[in-house]
Amino acid sequence: MDRWVTAASSLLAILLYYNTLDAGFVYDDRRAILSNPDVIGHTPINALFENDFWGTPLTDPGSHGSYRPLCVATYRLNYIFSGFKPWSYHFFNILLHSIATVLVVTTARRLLPSHCRRVGTAVAGLSFAAHPIHTEAVAGVVGRADLAACNLFLLSFLLYTEHVRLRIDNQKRKCRHNIKSNLLRHQLTTNNQNFRLSCHGLVQQIMINVRRLLKAGKAGPLRILNACEVATDAVKLNKCQCNGSVSEDSGELLQWCTLAGTLIFAVAATLCKEPAIMIVPLCIFYDFLKYTRQEESYSKHRWRSICALSTGGFVLLYWRLRLAGAPSAFASADNPTSRDPSILTRFYTFTYLPVFNFFLLIYPFQLSFDWSMDSIPRITTLFDIRNLYSLVFYAIISKVTWKALSQELRLQQEIKEKFYKKQSNKIKQKWNYNCKHFNRRQDCSERKSIILHKENASSKRFVCPCNGCKHTLNEDHTNVCRAINNNNTMMHLSTCVCPIAQGKSKPHNTMKYVYRSPQVAMLLFTAFMVLPFVPASNILFYVGFVVAERVLYIPSVGFCLLLGLGAGTLTRNWRRYEMCSRVFMITLLMTLLVMSGKTLRRNMDWRDEENLFRSALLINPPKAFGNLGSVLTTQGRLAEAEVAFERALKHRPNMADVHYNLGILHQNQRRYGEAIKSFERAIYFRPSMALAYVNLGTSLMADGRLAEAASALRAGARADGVRVRDRREHEAARVSALVQLASLHTQRGHWHKALSAYKDALQILPDTNAPIVGWTRHNVLSMASEIYMQLHQWPQAEHSILSALALAPNHVETYITLAQMLARNESRSSEAELWFKKALSLAPTDPLVRDKFGMFLRSQRRLRESAEQFVEAARLSPKDGVRAASAARALRDARRCRSAERWYARAVELSPEDAEYHSNLGAILHLNGKYVAAATSYRRALQLKPNDEITITNLKRVRTLMSNQRKK
């Protein structure tokens, strides 16, 4: 049954998200994957551990501060295997969600009470697989951080539960080993006595161990041995509940391995997403809550585990906080409440947000890709009705939690007191009975125990539940017991246990602890839901969002486990209330179907950005309309995009991004006046927006306002980007501003100013050739070399080009530029030829390289070699009439007129409407003596270009030659 539940839950998780495989990259996926240098391999592997989730160095003041290198590593693996094919990224997300569902089922099976396990496990697993709140985490590729963190979070917890189990088993194993050693030791000491004394000593040793075990058994359910049977001449230990095949050393090693695995998975989960660090307090809470035994040996080992786990957690937390540095700044629109000056407003709102998140878990049918800005209005007054919701919510949670905790503690105390009282009464009754019948001799109790054993050996046995005496003495100890223990002086670990005979009736001397009570399960599942949510609750520190659905992925584990606990409890007596149970199960099935349908429908919203943004128009209109306008602009639906931008600004006029995007739309429509106004508004609301300066300069240049354009571009180059969200985009905009400024100076002939702008751009760009959103150091060096050549500063130009080649040694155009520059100096023509050949070796099928090389050879008067290069270029471009004409011209210069005739004919065939090609074909036919065909080509050229003097003159000449031929 358990396997079927696991398989069904995992299969449901896969089937519900199968329709996301053909979805694309949406929203944050673009910045986190498509433009992330850590993903596309523009940075070394170690940069994954130096940059944040978005590829910005953690030391940068504008870094987001989110450190998730393991998640970014999975994106990089996806890119290595499939590039930017979205299906592979979505497939990996589905796989992680399926595995997480299996782990949730495993956790439920391990933690749910026995009466809830059958129904509760199925409800927990299926509800986790189908819950609509998970769509953002699974359907959005960026949500992989939450998926991976949840998997590692659950693995860490399961390993710690295994560690606790092994720790208890190890304690039992040690107890059994001590009992067996003591029994065998005392058996050997009695072998040298006579028959009476041997039997007497053997029985007394057994009684001692039985008494010792019973006393220690008061502290907990140490069901170590089922029995300790005594025969007349031997001692035999029955099979224990512990697994005796595992040695003490191997059990200890495995115990430490599971604890180390818990810490390793906790670290890995934290490196996927920061809230997963809460697995450490959750494991400690589990250890305290699940096992309440207080004996010294158990407490010592438990505290050892907790101290090791706590130390690892504190080290991890310290390292993470030290790595992140100061909290990263975020825009006020991302979390408006955090910037509110009123402390009461912040208190009311942040108190309500957990209630809202819990409501999303209960009723996940109003979802949004973004809950920033004023999608959840702030609570500014005490009389807001939402304060009542918060009060009721926290009151219910507190009441239920306190009741469950107090009930569990009271239950444990009652069980302990009842057990102690029962054991004390049994001991008194047994020994009072023995002493009544045998009171004549000092060792009457010993003989009575022997007689009882001999007469009822087949029906009675002695139970040994402990490994040593840890209690005070009483009158029940035998004379032999006192003699063995140094004349009534009982030491700490002395063997002072008296026998208790039992019949065949079911023994009741082992303490029954409730390990899987509903109260413990409810408290633990509540901790599962609350602790991972604490880092996102704005309680410890402010975060850059109001509500984020993907943040609820890990807390939803606790919510689904609570659902399983409730379902299992309600169906506990389903045989007695069969009709009610059937109604309840039908309701569960209908709820599951509704959740599955909502998940499938929500997946369609995450299919592309237009559907995603349209789905949030009612929840977050400014953000949804602004993003929708950008999508419609890229689709060419400019009228709809303009309406969307205007509606977004109507809801929130200070949105700099929307003003900027509206300016881009007007700029593309050549409405430069409106574009300039939009860009100026964007700069007003966000002075650090360098891209707005760049496009403002472009619009001013197009409008003929060159001086203003130069001023705007200089301001963009100096824009402060200390706290910008995307550092790479900002630096790229500054470089664009400088390049545009250099181009403007070049148009105006200000070569030195242009060169200064390029030098400033080189200072911004990194020393490597890693691109900053399109701009590389190689590009700027190549453009600077052209300015040097205009200034006739040939050594500087050469140095600039060689520096560019060092950064991009396979860039063919740079080789050509260097060769052309060297060809200007006749003394370095041989070097130029070497660079041309290097370019040719790198790109032998590039016709442009052969064109440039052919022109160089022509300048060197090596006409045949030049013609070969032009002909090869024409062959590489069989549909290019220009290259066919160039090949024909080169062949004619090389005196290969027959070949030139074929290529001119090819040029005419490819471009039949070009008069020049017809005229040139006529000329080569004229030279080859084909006068009739030449005259036809000249006439066709005159039809296309009637007043061409050269063609008219050539036609007259060929007609004269034709008439002379006829006269002869």
- Beta-carbon neighbour count of residue 747 at 10 Å? 11
**What is residue 537's DSSP assignment?**
T
Spatial CA neighbour of 473 closest among 212, 727, 650, 240:
212
Average pLDDT of the segment spanning 301-314: 86
Strands 235-237, 501-502: pairing kind: unpaired
Q: Which residue has the tokens 């390029």?
A: 758
Spatial CA neighbour of 149 closest among 64, 75, 68:
68
Q: What pLDDT digit, counting tens, does each position of 75-112 carry?
A: 999 999 988 889 999 999 999 999 999 999 999 998 98
Higher pLDDT, 887 or 204: 887
In this prediction, residue 595 carries a pLDDT of 93
d(CA 687, CA 373): 20
Residue 472's alpha-carbon distances to 211, 216, 235, 282, 298, in angstroms, are 12, 12, 28, 38, 20
- Report residue 602 as tokens: 């929500």
Q: What pLDDT digit, counting tens, does each position of 635-650 carry?
A: 889 999 999 999 999 9
Q: What pLDDT digit, counting tens, does each position of 417-460 carry?
A: 665 566 566 555 654 544 444 444 444 444 344 333 333 333 33
Q: Are 41 and 133 in contact (CB under 8 A)?
A: no
In this prediction, residue 207 carries a pLDDT of 58
Query: Which amino acid, one-letter code, is at 735?
Result: V
Half-sphere exposure of 670 (CA within 13 A, CB side): 1
Which of helix, strand or coil describes residue 462?
strand
Residue 891's alpha-carbon distances to 101, 867, 868, 920, 924, in angstroms, are 73, 5, 8, 13, 11
Q: What is the 3-state secondary structure (H, E, C) of 868-898?
A: HHHHHHHHHCCCCHHHHHHHHHHHHHCCCHH
- Beta-carbon neighbour count of residue 57 at 10 Å? 13
Average pLDDT of the segment spanning 248-262: 78
In this prediction, residue 87 carries a pLDDT of 92
Spatial CA neighbour of 694 closest among 577, 598, 808, 774:
774
Q: Grade residue 184 by pLDDT with cuts at 50, 70 and 90.
A: low
In this prediction, residue 190 carries a pLDDT of 45
Higher pLDDT, 165 or 280: 280
- Report residue 866 as tokens: 């030049």
Q: What pLDDT digit, counting tens, does each position of 748-766 carry?
A: 888 999 999 999 888 888 7
Half-sphere exposure of 935 (CA within 13 A, CB side): 10
Q: For residue 148, what are the contacts with CB-CB under 8 A and spacing of at least 6?
A: 70, 71, 74, 96, 269, 272, 273
**What is residue 329's DSSP assignment?**
P
Q: What pLDDT digit, counting tens, does each position of 695-711 carry?
A: 999 999 988 888 899 99
Spatial CA neighbour of 836 closest among 824, 849, 848, 846:
849
Secondary structure tally for the chain: helices H, strands E: 39, 4
Which of helix, strand or coil describes residue 114?
coil
Is 390's pLDDT higher than 60?
A: yes
- Report residue 392 as tokens: 């009721």
Average pLDDT of the segment spanning 224-243: 38
Global pTM?
0.74
d(CA 612, CA 597): 17
Phi then psi for 51, rounded to 5 degrees? -110, 165
Q: What is the mean pLDDT of the chain?
A: 80
